[in-house]
Structure 1
Amino acid sequence: MTASSPMVLSLLLFASLTALLVLAPRASSPPLPLPLPVVVGDEEAPPAAGGGAAGSSGGGAGVEEGPEDLALSRRVTLDASEGAAVASKVAFMFLTNSDLTFAPLWERFFAGHADRFNVYVHADPAVRLRLPPTPSFRGRFVAAKPTRRGDPSLIAAARRLLVAALLDDPANAYFALLSQHCVPLHSFPRLYEALFPPKAAHHHRLPSYIEVLAGEPQMPARYVARGDDAMLPEVPFDRFRIGSQFFTLARRHAVLVVRERRLWRKFREPCLPESQDSCYPEEHYFPTLLDMADPAGCTRYTLTRVNWTDSFEGHPHTYAAPEVSPRLIAELRQSNSSTYEHMFARKFAPDCLGPLMAIADTVIFKD
Structure 2
Amino acid sequence: MRGRGEKDELVIKDSSIGLVRLLFVLILFVIGIIIGLISSSHIDRYFTSQPNNFYMNYVSAAPAPSYTTGIAKTSICSTESIICKNDDCLSMESFKKPKNLTHKMTDNELFWRASLVPEKPEYPFERVPKVAFMFLTRGPIPFLPFWERFFRGQDVNKYSIYVHMNPGVQLKFPNSSVFYKRQIPSQDVKWGTVTLVDAERRLLGNALLDFSNERFVLLSESCIPIYNFPTIYKYLIGSTYSFLDSYDDPSRYGRGRYSRRMKPDIKLRDWRKGSQWFEIHRTLAVKIVSDTRYYNLFKWYCLPSCYPDEHYLPTFVNMFHGNLNANRTITYVDWSLGGPHPASFQAEDITENLMQHIRNNGTTCSYNGEKTSICFLFARKFNPNALGPLLRLPSTLLGF
TM surpasses 0.5: yes
- Asked if structure 2 preserves the Cα contact closer than 8 Å seen for 1:105 and 1:360, the reply is no
| Equivalent of 2:351 in 325, 329, 332 | 325
Equivalent residue for 1:55? none
Aligned residue for 1:93, secondary structure, equals: strand
The structural deviation recorded for 1:269 is 2.2
Equivalent residue for 1:223? 258
- Asked if structure 2 preserves the Cα contact closer than 8 Å seen for 1:35 and 1:143, the reply is no
> Counterpart amino acid of 1:221?
G
TM-score by length of 2: 0.68
The structural deviation recorded for 1:236 is 0.5
| Equivalent of 2:158 in 116, 129, 135 | 116
The structural deviation recorded for 1:291 is 1.1
Equivalent residue for 1:149? 191
- Asked if structure 1 preserves the Cα contact closer than 8 Å seen for 2:134 and 2:161, the reply is yes
Aligned residue for 1:99, secondary structure, equals: coil
Unaligned stretches of 5+ residues in structure 2: 1-31, 33-87, 366-370
Change (3 A) 1:321 1:140: same
- Cα distance in 2 for partners of 1:294, 1:329 equals 33
Q: Deviations over 1:201-252 (max 9, x none)?
A: xxxxx2111111114422121213xxxx122121101111110000001000
Q: Where in structure 1 do 4 or more consecutive aligned residues deviate above 3 Å?
A: 29-38, 79-85, 126-134
Equivalent residue for 1:354? 388
- Asked if structure 1 preserves the Cα contact closer than 8 Å seen for 2:131 and 2:159, the reply is yes
TM-score by length of 1: 0.74
1:238 paired with 2:265, answer no
Using the aligned pairs only, state the percent identity: 34
> Counterpart amino acid of 1:245?
Q
- Cα distance in 1 for partners of 2:134, 2:111 equals 17
- Asked if structure 1 preserves the Cα contact closer than 8 Å seen for 2:214 and 2:237, the reply is no
- Asked if structure 1 preserves the Cα contact closer than 8 Å seen for 2:215 and 2:237, the reply is no
| Equivalent of 1:70 in 104, 108, 132 | 108
The structural deviation recorded for 1:311 is 5.2
1:1-367 alignment to 2 at 5 Å? 68-78=106-116, 83=121, 86-113=127-154, 114-129=156-171, 135-167=177-209, 169-197=210-238, 206-217=240-251, 218-224=253-259, 229-269=260-300, 271=302, 276=304, 278-310=305-337, 314-334=340-360, 335-337=363-365, 338-339=371-372, 340-359=374-393, 361-365=395-399
- Cα distance in 2 for partners of 1:299, 1:216 equals 21
The structural deviation recorded for 1:271 is 4.6
Aligned residue for 1:353, secondary structure, equals: helix
- Asked if structure 1 preserves the Cα contact closer than 8 Å seen for 2:345 and 2:383, the reply is yes
- Cα distance in 2 for partners of 1:82, 1:269 equals 37
- Asked if structure 2 preserves the Cα contact closer than 8 Å seen for 1:80 and 1:166, the reply is no
> Counterpart amino acid of 1:322?
E
The structural deviation recorded for 1:341 is 2.3
- Asked if structure 1 preserves the Cα contact closer than 8 Å seen for 2:132 and 2:217, the reply is yes
Give the number of the structure whose alpha-carbon radius of gyration is greater.
2
Q: Deviations over 1:277-307 (max 9, x none)?
A: x322101111111111121210000110111
Aligned residue for 1:356, secondary structure, equals: helix
Change (3 A) 1:133 1:294: farther
Aligned residue for 1:316, secondary structure, equals: coil
Q: Deviations over 1:45-69 (max 9, x none)?
A: xx9xx8xxxxxxxxxxxxxxxx711
